[in-house]
Structure 1
Amino acid sequence: MPRNNDSLSSRELLARIGLSDAHPMDLLDDEPLEDLRGDVGAALRERYQALVQRHAFAPGDLVTWKPGLKNHRVPRYGDPAVVVEILQTPVFDSDKDAGSPYFREPCDVVLGLFIDDAAIRGELLTFHFDSRRFQPWTQEI
């Protein structure tokens, strides 16, 4: 452990926070949304319309984020997740801070996905999400 007057190399610092050549992570994994360079009001209305457009999902369906509505790090834009369960009564995040994007978010779908992490690579993980933010996944050819 370095003392206060010892300096860390950038490689040592990255290794301490879990980033290295052996375990790379793209910190800028999402492309910026092009429509935010124009009429922001129109972009907000478009996102609202996408949010309120519902899709009827069933267990086994493959889904992905709607453009501009991703509010979690995983899955990445364009990556599929499988619907594991549709909750009849939404679960609300326990975050008490009204400034959080998860405050009172109605999590009504359980999705299964893979995370590209060496320790858990290939393991099906499940997370609760707001289904309004998802659309059916179509494989791009």
Structure 2
Amino acid sequence: MSTPQDLGAALAAAVASRSAPQMAMQLPLALPTDTKIALLKQMFQSMQEPNKFEAGQLIKWKPGMQVRPYPLGGDPAIIVRVLDHPVYDGTADAGSPSFKEALDLQVGCLGPQGQFFIFHLPSFRFEPF
């Protein structure tokens, strides 16, 4: 069985091999089916692992969980506030990965010119930095 590091490396290599037009068209990853199954199981398990976050804590995307452009993958972000009651993404497209997602964190990160952005994001997609 593959380790999480092996699967992460396979995913990173497959994503890195894509050109910008392929990324824009969202072509499927060229991975063997058994690797895709292992990745799906690993990501599902990762979603089930809760983290107790608090304001001021540094976080990053969990592997394979980034579905939004910011914070940039691998970069640290900081929790501005943990919401007592999540807000829900109002994306109208049910085919979107963020459709009706519970957004229970306010997360600060650096923008392209170093500006401080704050986003509402779902905690299950993050882990401590």
Query: What TM-score, normalized to structure 1?
Result: 0.67
More helix by share: 2
Instruction: Describe the shift of the 1:108–1:36 C-alpha distance in structure 2 as closer, same or farther (beyond 3 A).
Output: farther
Q: Report if aligned partners of 1:110, 1:129 keep a CA contact under 8 Å in 2.
A: yes
Q: Does 1:37 align with 2:3?
A: no
Return the alpha-carbon distance in structure 1 between the equivalents of residues 91 and 31 of structure 2: 32
Q: CA deviation at 1:47?
A: 0.5
Structure 1 letter corresponding to 2:128 = P
Q: Does 1:136 align with 2:128?
A: yes
Partner SS for 2:81 = strand
Instruction: Describe the shift of the 1:49–1:76 C-alpha distance in structure 2 as closer, same or farther (beyond 3 A).
Output: same
Q: CA deviation at 1:106?
A: 0.4
Q: CA deviation at 1:123?
A: 2.3
Q: Which residue of 2 aligns with 1:107?
A: 103
Q: Does 1:52 align with 2:48?
A: yes
Q: Which residue of 2 aligns with 1:10?
A: none
Return the alpha-carbon distance in structure 1 between the equivalents of residues 31 and 91 of structure 2: 32
Over the matched positions of the two proteins, sequence identity in percent amounts to 36
Q: Which residue of 1 aligns with 2:3?
A: none
Q: Report if aligned partners of 1:114, 1:122 keep a CA contact under 8 Å in 2.
A: yes
Q: CA deviation at 1:36?
A: 6.8
Q: What do the CA deviations read for 1:9-28 (whole angstroms, capped 9, x no partner)?
A: xxxxxxxxxxxxxxxxxxxx
Structure 1 letter corresponding to 2:92 = K
Return the alpha-carbon distance in structure 2 between the equivalents of residues 37 and 54 of structure 1: 28
Q: CA deviation at 1:122?
A: 2.8
Q: CA deviation at 1:37?
A: 2.3
Runs of 4+ in 1 over 3 A off after TM superposition: none
Q: Report if aligned partners of 1:36, 1:43 keep a CA contact under 8 Å in 2.
A: no
Q: What do the CA deviations read for 1:67-94 (whole angstroms, capped 9, x no partner)?
A: 0100111112210000000011111011
Aligned residue pairs: how many? 104
Return the alpha-carbon distance in structure 2 between the equivalents of residues 122 and 47 of structure 1: 31
Q: Does 1:126 align with 2:118?
A: yes
Unaligned runs of 5+ residues in structure 2 are 1-11, 17-28
Query: What TM-score, normalized to structure 2?
Result: 0.73
Task: Let me know the Cα RMSD of the aligned residues.
Answer: 2.1
